[in-house]
Amino acid sequence: MTKKVRHVLGISGGKDSAALAMYMKMHHPEIDMEYYFSDTGKELPETYELIAELESFLGKKIKKLEANHSHKNPFDHYLDIYNGFLPSSMARWCTQKLKLEPFERWIGEDLAISYVGIRDDEDREGYVSTKSNIQSVFPFRKHIWSMEILHKVLHNSNREKIAELYEKHGEKNLIARFIEIIDEPQSPKYLFSQKMNDLLQLSISTFNRVVFYFLKNENYPVSHLNEYSLLENEDSVDINKVFQLFKENGVKVPGYYDEVEFEVNGQKGKYNRSRSGCFFCFYQRKIEWIWLYERHPELFRKAQEYEKDGYSWMDNETLEEIIQPERMTQIKLDYIATLQKKLNSKNKSNKLIDILADENEVCANCFI
């Protein structure tokens, strides 16, 4: 029996999830999407502005997920429970308590496909639920599936099954080549990524269709769909297309991405905040803390108030220390030098967020 499957898309406040929401409305209005936002209570004002703009563009409410029902806002509520222990990249209780748990509670036992805005020019996976009733798909990538599914499909032991599916669903004039690729086992000479690229180069939609039919005999939410229009999608979306989606749809790019000029010791630089998320997020680079101090001094002060009882947002210095004039000058000069080095070594884009995007492995739940 076919079960109802929910389609859900989380808006983080970042550009990519917002662009995905616009993209899905434009290209797949037939998918009845539910949009949600896990509010930590400590987001930047620009994030709330984006949510309001998107609601008006989508013509739908974006469901605000509640992490707790106490009178305190979600972050402060859990900070009390953790006895003032500030989260860090090594102890990221904030993502668990404020993002993942409210989301999984909202889905409950329903079957759900979660749409994630990881772009085709990125090499990362993002959040994949450990709950079997929630499955992530990635519409901006050529193949829309999680790595776990792709590895299963292209596993050497499944070659016969996949060859049969290609024979059944592939373009007749390409069958011989499909079979040739499938027949060749993965090995150090023929890697998984190579095999997948060879298949995608022949036909993206056929590849996605074959995976879909393979999953029919597995227990995933998509296994319960009779048809899935996303399979016919041959698009891939990179960072330039993300900005194009904002422009085409008249939605304002969140203001924290705006590049702002500064001058230090006669040298000029530009800074911005490269990601959404809580204003005090510990994933920020030092220059972003300086940006916060100079662009949102009241939020910087609030972040400072959390630094007490020996806890601080950074390992090696406090917020009070980084805003000392000499230290601030040094941070800005170091940043200008790093940026220059990156600009010299990269030529794909001169946007700050693009140049700095690969600097840290960060929390995909909060920033996509």
Residue numbers of the site for ligand SF4 (CB under 6 A)?
40, 87, 92, 94-95, 98, 277-278, 281, 283, 363, 366
Q: Of the two residues 104 and 110, which places its CB atom closer to ligand SF4 in the complex?
A: 104
Q: What kind and span of H or E run contains 7? A: strand 5-10
Q: Of the two residues 196 and 364, which places its CB atom closer to ligand SF4 in the complex?
A: 364
At closest approach, how far in Å is the CB of 361 from ligand SF4? 12
Q: Of the two residues 24 and 278, which places its CB atom closer to ligand SF4 in the complex?
A: 278
Angle between helices 286-295 and 325-345 (to 10 degrees): 120
Q: Of the two residues 92 and 351, which places its CB atom closer to ligand SF4 in the complex?
A: 92
Burial of 208 (0-12, 13-18, 19+ CB in 10 A): buried
Q: Of the two residues 319 and 363, which places its CB atom closer to ligand SF4 in the complex?
A: 363
Cβ pair 335, 269 in contact under 8 A: yes
At closest approach, how far in Å is the CB of 37 from ligand SF4? 13
Q: Retrieve residue 81's tokens.
A: 């429970």
C-beta neighbour count of 345 within 10 angstroms = 8
Q: Of the two residues 19 and 67, which places its CB atom closer to ligand SF4 in the complex?
A: 67
At closest approach, how far in Å is the CB of 322 from ligand SF4? 18
Burial of 40 (0-12, 13-18, 19+ CB in 10 A): buried
First to last CA, the chain: 35
CA angle 225, 229, 230 (to 5 degrees): 100
CA atoms within 13 A on the CB side of 199: 29
At closest approach, how far in Å is the CB of 136 from ligand SF4? 18
At closest approach, how far in Å is the CB of 281 from ligand SF4? 3
Which residue's CB atom is positioned nearest to ligand SF4? 277
Q: Give, in order, the Cα–Cα distances in Å from 362 to each of 136, 285, 303.
A: 18, 11, 20
At closest approach, how far in Å is the CB of 364 from ligand SF4? 10
Q: Of the two residues 88 and 158, which places its CB atom closer to ligand SF4 in the complex?
A: 88
Cβ within 8 Å of residue 11, ≥6 positions away: 17, 18, 21, 35, 36, 37, 50, 51, 54, 62
Q: Of the two residues 127 and 335, which places its CB atom closer to ligand SF4 in the complex?
A: 127
Type of residue at 201: Q
Instruction: Return phi, psi of residue 265, to 5°.
Output: 45, 40
At closest approach, how far in Å is the CB of 99 from ligand SF4? 6
At closest approach, how far in Å is the CB of 36 from ligand SF4? 15
